[in-house]
A and B are shown apart, each in its own frame.
Chain A
Amino acid sequence: MISHRDRNAQRISALDERAEALHLKRDMGIADARAMHPSIDVVEADPEADRRLLEGLADWCDRYTPLVALDGADGLFLDVTGCTHLFGGERAMLDDILSRFFHQGFDVRAGLAATPGAAWAAARFAGDRIVPCGEEEALLAPLPLAALRIEPATRASLESVGLRTAGAVMAAPRAPLARRFGALLLLRLDQALGRLDEAVSPRLPVAPLSVERHLAEPVTLTEDIERLVGMLAVTLKTDLERRGEGARTLALLLFRVDGAVSRIAIGTSRPMREPRLIQRLFHERLAALEQDIDAGYGFDLVRLSVLTSAAFDMQQADLAGEVIDDGADIALFADRIRARLGESAVLQPVVVESHLPERAVVTIPFTETPRRTTPPKKPDRLQAPKTIFPPERPIRLFRSPEPIDVPATEMPEGPPLNFRWRRALYRVTRAEGPERIAAEWWREVPSDEAASTRDYFRIEDADGRRYWLYRQGLYGGASQVPPRWFLHGVFA
């Protein structure tokens, strides 16, 4: 028996058959129940865990149809339009679902109908029933009002005027009903009877392409899964070729015999349809997830879906049949690294128009598009450099400037004589600068710290190491905060 807290009282929220046999009911107080039967076993409700379980079941139901939607806290909608023949008809499919759930230890009731409303009513009030198309009215007529999926308040007021079954509501004139009980009642009624369309919104986006393989004997070995991926990818290739597309995101779904579903996704930096390459990417991903995937008793259904795809450009091969394309090698290399180490494992710098050094270059995960594989062109005479002597920039930049101690400067605005960085003292022998870099006032809220200008110096220490220091703020400025010194980068 499961209890939940409702208005300061522990009440029964769910109970099993044996408890029902003891004449206990839902919403009864736990104290009352214990008074009747002191030996009952009460467990606190955990809606979060229930939710997770339901989502797990929804994942598992993915094997029947990609359109699975959650219904409240205790139901699932499966849109099986066009899927039933794969399982030998509606009755066979329903039996298969019920028996599999039964063997997993769930008590499941199911209904199959042409509209979600009718199926909902059939599952909850008519017991495993398949309602042929057009017989929704006959199904609903004898059922109580609860079968119409309406608010309890509406239900109570309908009952108070003597309309106790769905049939009675259907027979009543519509206009007064709508006026008195709101539009929702008629909407639900119309939806259940198929007069209005009701869309089941699936939990997960439906993949445009997917191929799957049911296995008589469950597989457990990673190598077997990889081989299966290869076989599925071969099937997928023909579909992709027909559409003139290549896959950009692929997902591999592994359905374990006991109902757990593992979902493994990979991204590619250029559209891909070659089975060998897809298999290789999944090889890396599976190797990285070795510990996370628990094969248990094995997987009995493996599905490979294309989540997103893009137009695939055919490569022109030369007469020897070879395509020389270094870009493809690098794209595949980057994909493999990312499949194993995560999305940000391969980065590329992008130069941004900004004079703040840390903003002038951003690193983004590797993408295929703007790469240049041909040798860079000689700079055009017309596009002259912006300055004849571009300011010197360090070759390494610290992610965040490191604060340094500067005991003394020769002049207030000048470079330091020595400085202490990471607990070591450096003597400055030569300095160039300052190069003043102001904050980008058009971007930031001018706080005192961020908006103060920086004066950058190129510094060489006694050993010949070259650093890039800056002083934030000015000596004797308007704000009484003394300027601070930072080390921002190192030169070659």
Chain B
Amino acid sequence: MAMTAVARETVFALRRQIAKIEGTLPERLAAPAAATSDADVNTDLTIVRRGIAAALPDAFLPIGVERLDAALSGGLPKAALSEIHGSETRDAGAVAGFALSLTSLILKQTPGLPVLWIGTTEIFREAGFPYARGLHAAFGIEPEQLLFSEAPRLVDALWVAEEAARMTALAAVILEIRGNPQRLDLTATRRLHARAQGAGRPVFLLRQAAEPEPTAAPVRLIVASAPAAPRDTIAGPLAGTIGRPAFTLTIGKSRTALPGQFTLEWNPDERAFDERTSDERRGEGRERAKNPVPVVSLSGRGKDPAAASGAVLAFPAIGSSAAISPTARDQPSRPQRAAHLGPRRAG
């Protein structure tokens, strides 16, 4: 009995070593919670189960959506190359948006570090150049944190990416490529992946208008845009408005090989993902109550919205029960305005 235990221990140690030599990211299978608790989990011990090593929880970036994290066995590998695909160039906004939301999640853990976005001249011309003001508003990435590199040729872009992937001073590297070029093959992606593993920083390979092909990236996500939910107001969702960005995410490849399709909604204020299930879309108001996220999004710059200007006087509110029009969002609310205009009208 003791012999078999020792033998098993040796086998596990050897497997661990092999995994380390091969450089494969050890990951966890979607283990049931019960199984995890009875196998005494030691944080600095790599648990080996069914031939696949389980990694430290720190090796993954949890996306914050339970179903998706489970399907990806804990989240997106942090020190790795991850492919994010868009089927057409016109999806570039959604693909870039999803990659930037992941970057934003990473920046929550490593605040202040810059992000490098590498692209070929072709993709920046076809899909538009990243706009720092929009990135700041939607993903909380400061303009000072952004670095762009535009390379006329793919070879140069790949070279810049390889140089950047080994740097620990960058929070994340985004490499954007269009189509299926010959040069971006298994070898090139393996080089990127190896460097990302060495540096412990993620490299996001955005592939616009590309067909999935074999690469060294452990994860491939296929992103398309999804219709956004209407904007939430105190009076409930406002029909006809375009709310937070939403994505349809399909797992094209992952170590666990679990299929899945998800509709995610990015919350720019909380900088977090929400999953939108199909029944939630139909009956929007009911599900919201259970949602831990506040109904009204906190204002982007802090917890307290700016106080209304002027004293609030006890004037009868004119049409106060009327629905707030779409334009009212950008203006002070009615009672405040009445108070502001009040003295002039009264005097």
Contact = CB atoms under 8 A, between A and B. Distances in A.
Given A345-B149, A392-B137, A371 B96 contact: no
Contacts of A393: 131, 133-134, 137
Given A376-B111, A395-B100, A492-B96, A349 B132 contact: yes
Given A347-B147, A430-B241, A492 B130 contact: no
A395 B93 contact: yes
**B interface residue count range (under 10 / 10 to 19 / 20 to 34 / 35 or more):** 35 or more
Interface string B120-160: 00001101111111110111001111111111000010011
B146 A329 contact: no
B310 to A, nearest CB: 15
A157 interface: no
B91 interface: yes
B132 to A, nearest CB: 4
B147 A385 contact: no
Nearest to B304: A381
A344 B149 CA distance: 8
A474 interface: no
A330 B114 contact: yes
Interface string A329-364: 110011011001100111111110000010011010
Task: Name the prevailing secondary structure of the A interface residues.
Answer: mixed
B330 interface: yes
Contacts of B135: 395
Given A333-B163, A390-B300, A489-B131, A372 B91 contact: no
Given A464-B225, A464-B227, A492-B100, A341 B170 contact: no
Nearest to A358: B131
Given A346-B149, A394-B131, A379 B143 contact: no
Given A348-B147, A393-B137, A466-B242, A492 B112 contact: no
Given A347-B150, A385-B301, A491 B93 contact: yes
Interface in A348-405: 348-351, 357, 360-361, 363, 366, 370-376, 378-379, 381, 384-385, 387-399
A395 B134 contact: yes
B227 A349 contact: no
Contacts of A399: 124-125, 128-129
A490 interface: yes
A409 interface: no
A392 B134 CA distance: 7
B227 to A, nearest CB: 4
Given A394-B93, A464-B227, A333 B164 contact: yes
A432 interface: yes
Contact of B148 (A336, A349, A395, A491): A349
B225 A329 contact: no
A326 interface: yes
B112 A374 contact: yes
Nearest to A347: B148
Contact of B228 (A351, A394, A466): A466
A397 B111 contact: no
A465 B93 contact: yes
A334 B149 CA distance: 9
B329 to A, nearest CB: 6
Nearest to A371: B144
A341 B156 contact: yes
B204 interface: no
Contact of A396 (B93, B168, B245): B93
A389 B100 CA distance: 21
B347 interface: no
B226 to A, nearest CB: 5
A201 interface: no
A465 B90 contact: yes
Nearest to B148: A347
10 contacts: A345-B149, A346-B148, A347-B150, A349-B143, A357-B133, A361-B131, A395-B97, A396-B129, A399-B129, A430-B240
Given A326-B169, A393-B133, 7 more contacts: A333-B167, A357-B133, A361-B132, A371-B114, A389-B299, A465-B90, A492-B245
Interface of B: 90-94, 96-98, 100-101, 111-114, 124-125, 127-135, 137-139, 142-151, 156, 159-160, 163-164, 167-170, 224-228, 240-242, 245-248, 266, 299-302, 304-306, 326, 329-330
Q: 5 closest A-B pairs (Cβ-Cβ)?
A: A492-B97, A396-B128, A490-B93, A349-B132, A326-B169
